[in-house]
């Protein structure tokens, strides 16, 4: 997924999620706020660029004392039964987020 966004991983690091995934920025921002509030990791599923992704995020503090959210994304397309409508691609119609804690 990162290769589709940018060839340089360093270019993406420390950028706001709304810049990295602008279509889903608001929903992912909500998950980031929730994980900070709970002070615990959060795993959810979403569809991005026709891929089913399993995303895991957790709050942390960097070496400068700044609050950060660390995360990973795993492409689950074809691995698990697809429970979402792949044709939903407009942000206001996209209900393809599911918390799978």
Instruction: For residues 61-82, give the mean pLDDT.
Output: 84
pTM for the whole structure? 0.58
Q: For residue 97, name the pLDDT band (cuts at 50, 70, 90).
A: low
The CATH code of domain 2-81+91-99 reads: 3.30.450
Tell me the pLDDT tens digit for each residue of 4-61. Answer: 555 566 666 666 666 666 566 567 788 888 899 999 999 988 887 788 888 899 999 9
Q: For residue 82, name the pLDDT band (cuts at 50, 70, 90).
A: low
- Of 47, 56, 2, residue with least CA distance to 23: 47
- Of 47, 67, 50, 66, residue with least CA distance to 58: 67
Q: Are 16 and 32 in contact (CB under 8 A)?
A: no
Q: For residue 90, name the pLDDT band (cuts at 50, 70, 90).
A: very low
**Where exactly are the structural domains of the chain?**
2-81+91-99
């Amino acid at each position: 997924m990162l290769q589709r966004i940018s060839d340089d991983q360093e270019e993406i690091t420390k950028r706001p999620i709304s810049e990295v995934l602008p279509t889903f920025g608001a929903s992912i921002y909500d998950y980031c706020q929730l994980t900070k509030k709970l002070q615990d990791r959060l795993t959810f599923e979403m569809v991005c660029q026709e891929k089913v992704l399993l995303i895991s995020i957790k709050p942390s503090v960097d070496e400068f004392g700044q609050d950060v959210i660390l995360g990973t994304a795993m492409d689950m397309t074809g691995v698990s039964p697809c429970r979402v409508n792949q044709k939903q691609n407009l942000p206001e119609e996209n209900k393809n987020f599911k918390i799978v804690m």
